[in-house]
Structure 1
Amino acid sequence: MEQARKQMEIFRQLFHEVRLLTASDLGVETGDSGEPNIWKTSCECRSCLGQKSIEEACIARKVLKEKGQKTKYENAGTELNEIIAKYVEVDDTPYVMEYVRRVDTDAVLGEVTTERAKTNMTEFYKMLYTDALSQAYNRRYFEDRIRKKVVTGGIAMIDLDDFKTSNDTYGHEIGDILLRAVVTTIRSVIRSSDVLIRYGGDEFFLVIPNISQEMFEQKLNEILYHIRMIQIPESKNLYLSVSIGAVMLKNQVVEEVMPKADKLMYEAKETKNTIVTEWGRSGDKKDEMIRSSRKLSRQCILIVDDSEINRAILYEMLHQDYDILEAESGERCIRMLEEYKREISLLLLDIVMPGINGFDVLEQMNRKKWIEFIPVIMISSENSDYYMRKAYNMGVCDYISRPFDIKVVQRRVNNIIKLYAKQRRLTTILTEQVKSKEESRKIMVAILSQIVEFRNGESGLHVSRVNALVKMLLERLRQVTDQYNISWVKQDLIVMASSLHDIGKIGIDDKILNKNGKLTKEEFEVMKTHTLIGASILENLEEYQKEPLVQTAYEICRWHHERYDGNGYPDGLKGDDIPISAQVVSLADVYDALVSKRVYKESYTHETAMQMIMNGECGVFNPVLLQCLKDIATNIPDEIYRGG
């Protein structure tokens, strides 16, 4: 009880009045089981003050009975009060925590008399229950008016496909326009009596009562079609789509059936721009693979504390600006981190908890690398230097001691989330720039290699086939040995650089390069110089000598005609003195030359080419690479030479 009193003092920073009401205060007597069973005509809660009918007015009694939370607005003279009643248990005894704060009616309704305020309550509730951005009903309306409602008709969860990506790509202004356009479009299809709620950032909840299944499905298809037809002048290349999960109700409570619509919506998101209904599926098991929790739409904070009151305090401080998830234990926290991963923007983590404590959670986060993308603020009454040093050493971003100061908590949470969001955005931009640069390099390399092939009079496919075979050989080589220390980055580099293996042929006379017949000894000596010409071209790129691509391309250009026994050219290198990049390209080049038709020869079959290479008729190759070629031999014709 002492802890509860301390927490109430903290809540009084947020509310004008905070009270802990017993069942007796509410005029309720409990039976042997602890459940309320006798309801008297007197009640001390604020929602009953001055009310004739306690049965209708008292939200505290309803909360005690249902073990939930309710909100009510009441006029008190010239004041308008917001009253929140929440069920809590202290020392295993049920209580109702009552919070009261005055609403600034001047700000909401203008400077008006009490009488006029009462007559304008409709306008006030419209403001209270309307989402300011989209003008749909808001989440508060769902909680207060829809969640417990018994409905016969249809409900649907509607999620905008890839909305976060569009928001990040085109900016928040375009994102806001999209949301308003979606609401306008849906409202043009449904009746004025139907209810459209903005449930989250990019999720909407639709309730259409008293409608047949056939007509409900028709409405949903119209919504799907018309949203797809939305065009935003500010972003002509942006097209919208939604994923919809829908369920029919027959005298059922909305909150009991809503999870099914949510699951169906997630199934629809597997293909996007899709409607999935309970009557549209038969005998499949996809529900088991769909996450039952709804997709988080705003930045999300996971609060982990074994004290319900501590979690409630943090929730009150932060829920207006963030989606809030809660975990009452370290075990539950780890399960939620597994489930949500990058959807969690911040973790508020208590240290002292039964079972898995806060430091155990941090240990798991470090082991699984979650700490790299989920920032952690430690929240604890333990403020010793030891705990703080240990927390910071394990990767936490900040440490907040209890009792909480509202402004400090809000500011630190906001700063950490903004910092990490900016870091993620910069990482994304950098990744896209690197990817774009890499694609540009690949294109330029491909153009250059095609110029050489065009001059050489070949089909134009030689380079692409060598690329593909080099990739297959390297993948197999990495599987069978780590002798050559080939990372996936180096593998990609060798594949790209292999396109330039014959770049030196650009300096060979056309008469020799495209001679229809066998070269003379003198002509072959000239042809062999293409290795040195190619290396010289790359050496002259003085500004780029430290670039890995240029260095790898140099190795391949100069030494792809060397042989493992030292009988190649131009330098007579032997064994692993020949760079592995050149060895792999050499083998791929020989294989493709054998199975391809050239001006001086006909093509050999795959089987003949393999036999010639293994017999050493084309020179001696690295035994490890020959084994790799054998291992992938059956896949080569289909994967590289399919279609001729």
Structure 2
Amino acid sequence: MGMDESMTKQETKEMMEQLEKVFSIVRILDIEGFETANSLRKKKMPDNPCQCYSFWNRDKRCENCISARVLADKKQRTKIEFINSDMYQVISKYIEIDNVPHIMEMINCLDSDVLIDQDGRKEIIKKIAGIDEEIYIDVLTGAYNRKYYEENIKMTTRVSGIAMLDLDDFKLYNDTFGHMAGDVALETVVSVIKKEIRKTDLIIRYGGDEFLIVMPGIEENTFVKKIKHIRETIDNTKVPGYPKLKLSVSIGGVISGGQPIEKAVEKADKLMYKAKIKKNMVVTENEKNVIGNNVSDVNRFKILIIDDSESDCDELTEMLGGEFDMLNGSNAEQGIDMLNKYGEDIALVLLDLKMCGMSGFEVLTYMKQKSLSENVPVIMISDEKSASFIRKAYELGVIDYISRHL
């Protein structure tokens, strides 16, 4: 017997038993609560048609209740419904039981891993959302882009692990190996992260060489272990075609705690910049400074200023002294003495390259001979603009450039 004809309760029961062999759920909805007789006659959508609150674990009516529409026009309809990370196919069919209108819903939970390939899933999401997902994808890396974050993520409040990740020495990659090398480095890092995170997690290219990782519903201990593992894996990854390019990343991580994601991103961003003081580091709220398995106090890193300009030293000390222990060398010789005394306990050197007497280049040469430049980053301070001058500094180990007039 077809479902277009009126059926008895017994026939309906037998029909449902057959359908339950095919569908995960088969249910009958009666006319009560769907609509008033007046709305049925006029074929208008009722004010409160949805009977799915408890069934779908929702606290408000469906935005697209196809069963209410089917009851109004008696046309069979199908839709895809998302509940958390699960996807359901819902088929709604008009029937009459003992000449009384009812709706039969046939529901299947779709296993996306088995039934739908990645391209198919993307196409379904496009059709359901009514948007072209491509506008949210970064062309180079395949990660989500900043537009996606701004429009879909930053104001959400689900408790999530939030990690800000920045490539160390990215400017150096571009200046030394060319922009193509920088592009490949970005692609390589994103490829590693995608392999390490869950299907429910997101990676977003937040800007330039900075990426945001969002891990919904993750426990804090698991989150910290995960981002440490990501850092370690990237550190051990080779960049295809560029064997001399050494990858590393600095990561700041927090748990959002139910606040808007953008607030957690701000905190993670600050922790990430603390991580960049020494590079190749993970810094989280509860573990202030983590390099591999070593823990220390990130707030009192030592910064060495080697500059024969007293005013510049004073300005830099005023800017940075609140968070860091400041060491000052008023000339190259004093700077080398400080390097010999503190060695790799120095987190960063701010170096004037053009000083009276012994130059900053000689300091860089000394650091390279003593292998200090491998573990102590140097940022040069200069008003020199020539490409050859800057290139020489990078070749000797400088990682970045600051104009003398800050």
Q: Do they superpose with TM above 0.5?
A: no
Q: Please report the TM-score for the alignment, with normalisation by the length of structure 2.
A: 0.42
Higher helix content, 1 or 2: 1
Larger RCO, structure (CA 8 Å, separation 6 or more): 2
Higher strand content, 1 or 2: 2
Structure possessing the higher radius of gyration over alpha carbons: 1
Q: Please report the TM-score for the alignment, with normalisation by the length of structure 1.
A: 0.27
